[in-house]
A and B are shown apart, each in its own frame.
Chain A
Amino acid sequence: MFKTKSGKEIFIVDGHTHFWDGSPENQSNVHGKQFIDCFYAYHTNLSPPEQLWEKARFEKYSEDDVYRDLFIDGPDDVAIIQSTYLRDFYKNGFSSIERSTSMASRHPERFIVNGSFDPRDGEKALEYIHYMKENFDIQGVKMYTAEWNGESKGWALNDPAAYKCFELCDKLGIKNIHVHKGPTIIPLNKDAFDVHDVDHAATDFQNLNWIIEHCGLPRLDDFCWIATQETNVYAGLAVAMPFIFSRPRYFGEVMAELLWWIGEDKILFGSDYAIWTPQWLVEQFWEYQIPEDISAERSGVQLTDEIKEKILGLNAAILYDIDVEAKKKQLSGAPVQIAAE
C-alpha cells in the first residue's frame, strides 16, 4: 500500500519482479557472468545513488530481502514474479518457477508466480506447460524471445511451435502472456527489437492478454501502433520507470506517447525488481507530471491521480482477477511482519 502525502491509500500491483540467482556458483559460462553484469550495470546507472546495492547481494538476494524490499520498505501489495530460465547460461536457471514458488509460499497472499516455456522445445514445451498448470496453477507466463537455445539465438511469437503452446495456454486458462520486448540481450539472428510478431499473436489469440514488457522500447512507435489496433495488448513499464529519475523529460515523452496511443487502461507498473526497488519508483511516479510542452504535443494528456492509480495497480488487478477490496481486507488482516533477520 502506498500512502500519498494527503493520506490516500493506493493499491500497488508490481507487474514485473524477479527472484533470481545470478551468482557465480550458478553461472554455467561467461555468458551467465555477462548477463548478470549487464543487469547490474542497469542497476548502477539508472538508480539514485542512495539505492545502490553491493554486487554480491545483487547477484543473489535472500527471501527476506524480497519481502522487505517489496512489502515492508516498499509499497507493493501484490508482486508478480516472472520466471526466466536462460538454461544455456545458468546451471539451475536464472529464476525458476520452483525456486520462486518456494520463496512465495511464505506469503502466498502477496505473490503471483508466473511460469515460462521455450516453444523450441516442441512436445516438451507442451508437457511443461501442463506441469506448470498442474503444480503451480499459473495464470501467466513470461516469454523471452531472445533466449538462446543451442544453435538458435531467438524465436518469434508467431512461429508455428509457439502457436501450439499458446493454443494450450488458452485451453488451460493461462491467459496473461508477458513478453520481453525491450533492450536487447542479444540474439544475432533475430531482430529482438521487432514487435510485429505481437501483432500476429494478439490477433490470433484474442482470449490471451499480451503484456509487452519495457513497452517495446526501443520500438515504441511500432508498439503503439500495434497496441492501438489490438484490444488485448498492454504496455508494461519495467525499465521505462527508472528514467523518471535519470531523464524525467524523456520519461514524460514516453508516457505521453503511451497515454495518447493506447490509453490509461492498458499501462501496467513494474519495478523490474531487483534491478530497481519499487519504493522510490512509486514515490517519484506519484509526484510526477508530464512537462507542459510535451503534453501539449499530444493533446494535453497528463498523469492525473486517477490515471496513476490505474497504472500502479488497478489495471493489473483486472488482468489477474484480483478483487481489490477483498485483497485489501485480506492484507490488512495479515499485516506486514518484520521478517526475521
Chain B
Amino acid sequence: MFLKFQETELVAEIWDCLEHVTDPELDEPVTDMGFVEKISVDQQDNRVEVEFRLPTYWCSPNFAFLMAFDIHNAVSRLPWVTGVGVTLNDHCFADRVNEGVNGGRNFASVFSEFCEGENLDAVRLKFLEKAYMRRQEVMLLALKAKGYPAAEIIGMTLEGFDAVKFCDPVSAKEKPRYRSLLMSRGLAESPSDPAFPTWKGERLTEGELGDYMARLRGVRINMEFNGALCRGLQSTRYKEVEIGKDGPGLIDFIQNRVPPRDVDRNPLATT
C-alpha cells in the first residue's frame, strides 16, 4: 500500500514536469492535450517509462520527434530518475521515433537523419517564435479589450504589464507563459524594458501596431486550424484507451478515462 502511494507521488511529480513540454505546433502542454497515456516508475531502480500517443496516426513526425525528445529531457532532469524510456504508440513513424529517442544517440543527429537533414535547434526556434507571437497576441487583444489605447500598449513597460490584472481565464493563463518567454529569450529583462517587443527585439511604433496585429492573427489562424482538428481528433481517439489490468492509475483519473460506476448495469443493485 505504501509502495503504491509512493508510486502515485512519483507519477504526479513526473506529470507536473511534463506540463512544461508543449506540442510545438499548438503551443499547448502535452498533458493538457491528453497525449500522455501512461507513466510508470520501477521503484527498484527508479527507472521511468512514459507512453504517449498523438491525435492521429499521421501527425507530423517532426513534431512527434520533438515531443519525444522533450519528454525524455524533462523527465531525465528530475534528480531521482536513473533512466527514462519514452514510447510513442500507434503512429506511422513510431518505430523510428522510439528508436531515435531511446537509442542513446544525440537527438540532433537522429532528427537530422530522419527529418530530411533538418536542424533540430532551428526547428525548435521556429516554433518558439510562433508560440511567442501567439502568446503575445492574446495579451495584446486582452489589453485592447480593456480599453488601452495603442500608444499606451506599445509604450508599456514590463513593470506596467506586471501590474495589469487579467480576469478572463485565457489571458490569466497566458500572462505568465508570455512573460516566461520574454525572460528566457532575453526580450525583456528589467522592469523598464518594453513589454511588447517583436521576436527580433524591435520596438513597435503606434502606426505599426495594426499591421503587426494582423500578422499575429495570421499565425494564430494557422495554428488554431491544427489545434481545433487535433483537439477534436484526440477526443475520439482516446476513448479507445483501455484501463490496464491493475486498475486505473493516476493518469487515467486525470484524463477522465475512469467510467462512473453504473448501478443500473448490475441487476442485483436495483432489486
Contacts and interface: CB of A to CB of B under 8 A. Distances in A.
Contacts of A51: none
Interface stretch (A12-20, A37-45, A56-64, A77-85): A37-45
Given A38-B56, A188-B93, A188-B115, A257 B226 contact: no
Contacts of B93: 188
B57 to A, nearest CB: 4
Interface stretch (A170-178, A245-253, A315-323): A245-253
Interface string A169-187: 0000000000000011110
B115 A253 contact: no
A34 interface: yes
Interface string A212-225: 00000111110000
B147 to A, nearest CB: 14
A276 to B, nearest CB: 13
Interface string B50-92: 0000011111110000000000000000000000000000001
A46 interface: yes
Secondary structure of the B contact surface, majority rule: helix
Contact of A188 (B116, B218, B237): B116
A297 interface: yes
Interface string A24-50: 000000010011011001101110000
B217 interface: yes
Contacts of A218: 222-223, 225-226
A253 B236 CA distance: 26
Given A219-B222, A257-B221, A186 B236 contact: no
Interface stretch (B2-10, B13-21, B227-235): B227-235
A138 interface: no
Contacts of B213: 297
A220 B225 contact: yes
Contact of A41 (B214, B223, B236): B236
Contacts of B224: 250
Nearest to A45: B232
B221 A45 contact: no
A257 B215 CA distance: 11
B233 A220 contact: no
A220 B214 contact: no
B114 interface: yes
A186 B214 contact: no
Contact of A45 (B92, B114, B226, B236): B236
Interface string A189-215: 100000000000000000000000000
- Range of interface residues on A (Cβ < 8 Å): 20 to 34
A136 interface: no
Nearest to B227: A218
Given A41-B56, A188-B114, A250-B224, A221 B218 contact: yes
A314 to B, nearest CB: 26
24 contacts: A31-B57, A34-B58, A35-B58, A38-B56, A38-B57, A41-B55, A41-B56, A41-B233, A42-B232, A44-B236, A45-B236, A46-B232, A183-B229, A217-B225, A218-B222, A218-B225, A219-B222, A220-B222, A221-B218, A221-B219, A221-B222, A246-B232, A250-B224, A297-B213
Interface of A: 31, 34-35, 37-38, 41-42, 44-46, 183-186, 188-189, 217-221, 243, 246-247, 250, 253-254, 257, 297
Q: What 7 A-B pairs are tightest by C-beta distance, nearest first? A: A45-B232, A221-B218, A34-B57, A218-B225, A186-B58, A218-B222, A217-B225
Given A34-B57, A185-B56, A250-B225, 19 more contacts: A34-B58, A34-B92, A37-B57, A38-B58, A38-B233, A41-B237, A45-B232, A45-B235, A186-B58, A188-B115, A189-B115, A217-B225, A218-B223, A220-B225, A221-B215, A221-B222, A243-B228, A246-B228, A257-B218
Interface of B: 55-61, 92-93, 114-116, 213-215, 217-219, 221-226, 228-229, 232-233, 235-237
